[in-house]
Amino acid sequence: MAHQRFGNQEFSCEIWCMFLKSIHKYCKAENARVSYYRLCESYRDEFGTPKQRMVIGLGRLDELPDIDQKLLLADRINELLKGEPTLYKSGIDQTVEKLAHYFFRQIKAKKKIDKNIDPSGDIDRVKLSTLKNKDVREIGAESISYQAFLQLGIDKYLVARGWDAEQISLASTHVVSRAVYPASELKTVSWIKENSGICELTGYDPRNLTKDKLYGISKKLYLEKEGLENHLSRCTNDLFDLHDKIILYDLTNTYFEGSMRGSKMAKYGRSKEKRNDAKVIVLAVIVNTEGFLKFSDIFEGNTTDHSTLEHIINKLNQRNRYTSKKPIIVMDAGIATEENIRFLKADGYPYLCVSRSNMKNYKANPGCKPVRIVDKRNQPIELLRVNVDNDGDNYLWVKSQCKAEKENSMHTQFAERFEEGLRCVQNGILKKGGTKKFDKVWERIGRLKEKYPSVHKYYQIEVLQEDKGIVTELSFERKEGMQPSARAGVYFLRTSLDWTDEANIWAIYNAIREIEYTFRVLKSDLDLRPIFHKSDDGSMAHLHLGLLAYWLVSTIRYQLKQKGYNHDWREIVRTMNSQKIVTTTVENEKTDIIKIRQCSEPSGAVLLVYEKLKFKPIPLPRKKSVWHTGGFLKKDRSVNQYIMDG
């Protein structure tokens, strides 16, 4: 849709980017201001800025006194430019038709347009020696991430929340960038301006992009956290027909680089990355078995895992208001305290978890035999129903050969380190200046026991001393009859579910691997650790931005897994980065510079991803611009004509 303008009035007209423009000039001969008309073309330059140029001057058009005739003239010229039959049409004003053909011949003779003039098509003679490729940028990974952003309807949600177009394009730019190239805001700006074609997808002007704008849009997105999670949870359920019969709950934490003295959220706690020297913050998430987030919350760094369950479940109840059967809560042993179990029972939630106790007093369920299955790696798993006295829950004894091998290997390694430490204590007793006092020797032994609590119970240690409290000898040997391998690889599943079959119970619990993968993607692939922000607001926005990026990742990976494509996110990004967008320039025989910007054809691996996702393989249309060195008007230097093919 273009506009025709007469003075201060505009009229809409369905023509090919053309409009009729009137200008007023003073005529000395008539001693009055008169109107002159131009046929102009609107276009966008390579930065997306709307501009216009004059195609041809039409003069005063005294032959057409009526405004409607002038509009009809513009329509008819446009029809001829678009390749309409050049024969005179019947039933049309013959004056208008003659003028239209006259001006059409003038435009064609002066070669002031590039489209549909040559009946043979878009063909030009060019100098191959002048052909250059430049401004090459990555577009493939950005393309599937942005199409997932649109698939999830995040843009529509933000429109409904009153966001303007520029804010939405900046938000989509930042979320997609975090998914494809997770980095600090400063590095993200450099990546967008130098390496990525994301702004060409989202429509945001990269010249206006700064790290402060990225900080600002992250904080604005965080204000929409609750509503966005609700929208995305419903959207994925509707898109993929999911019912959330099983949900997985777990927590992780990430540490800060910096003192965070003024923070209310950053506290010293047990770091999962063994960074006990740094303050941490706790992230709790609920995901379904397909890997989609259902709920998330952020707690202070010294929050214990088991203390969060009741708060999270109450929040989940407020959001979903389950009226029918509630989903099964699957959780790890660290959360499954007796208090939390009682809460879930009282609230009517079925649950499945790993038992926290050692389970020494149990016996096999009468009439049940061990069931043998294999896991995804084809490793054997043995299952057996067991009864526990004075406990109404059902228990499943599980022995994993793979887990047993891992535990035995770890035990052997710890035992070797423990023995090496004891030998160091022995050497200190024998050498001059070493530790020989009885209490100091036992202090060193005590530190070793504290460091290796799982192995020291298998050793008998004896320390001999003189009357003055000086140790003369230390000996140690492994206790007989104590074999750690006897219980290696054994654990117990505890559940309120009725028995269906052992394999089904184990499969439900094994889905918790999905939440482990979620944390791995969030913390490693999406760069949630460590946090370099110095304020709580910045830290919250940083974590929420990573969660939004994870929505894109999980949406893409779920659709690919449904089609048998099981690569991890980093491999998908690496594959898709082979598709680029590039600008090709070449000079034609008239010394005009032809510039074409288009996406490269996707390779076989890239095309396979597009086909499985059912996304567009060419994310951006081909764009052609021509710099006419001859110029159109002496005063008109905006001669860059921008043509969208297709």
| 580 exposure class (CB count in 10 Å sphere: 0-12, 13-18, 19+) | middle
Kind of pairing, strands 246-255 and 328-331? parallel
What is residue 634's predicted lDDT score, i.e. its pLDDT?
38
CATH top class, domain 227-357+497-561: alpha beta
Please tell me the predicted confidence (pLDDT) of residue 602. 94
Q: Which runs of consecutive H residues, i.e. helices, occur in 377-524?
A: 401-430, 438-451, 502-510, 513-520
CA-CA distance, 561 to 292, in Å (whole number)?
A: 13
Angle of helix 225-240 relative to helix 536-562, nearest 10 degrees, comes to 0
pTM summary value: 0.73
Residue of 372, 391, 459, 471 lying closest to 427 (CA atoms): 471
How far apart (Å, rounded) are the C-alpha atoms in residues 569 and 557? 7
Chain centre to alpha carbon of residue 425: 52
- SS3 (DSSP) at 586: strand
- What residues contact 532, with CB distance under 8 A and at least 6 apart? 184, 256, 257, 258
| Residue 284, beta-bridge partner list | 251, 297
The DSSP string of 440-480 is: HHHHHHHHHHHH-TTTGGGEEEEEEE-TTSBEEEEEEEEPT
The pLDDT, as a whole number, for residue 490 is: 86
Q: How far apart are CA 95 and CA 98, in angstroms?
A: 5
Q: Could you report the per-residue pLDDT of 501-515, keeping only the tens digit for each?
A: 778 888 888 888 888
**What are the sequence ranges of the domains in the chain?**
2-110, 126-134+579-644, 227-357+497-561, 358-496
Q: How far is CA 103 from CA 14, 16, 63, 217, 400, in A?
A: 19, 16, 14, 50, 85
Give the up-direction half-sphere exposure of residue 425: CA atoms within 13 A in the CB hemisphere: 28
Flag residues of the chain having pLDDT under 70: 1-17, 44-48, 83-91, 113-122, 321-324, 358, 360, 484-486, 629-646
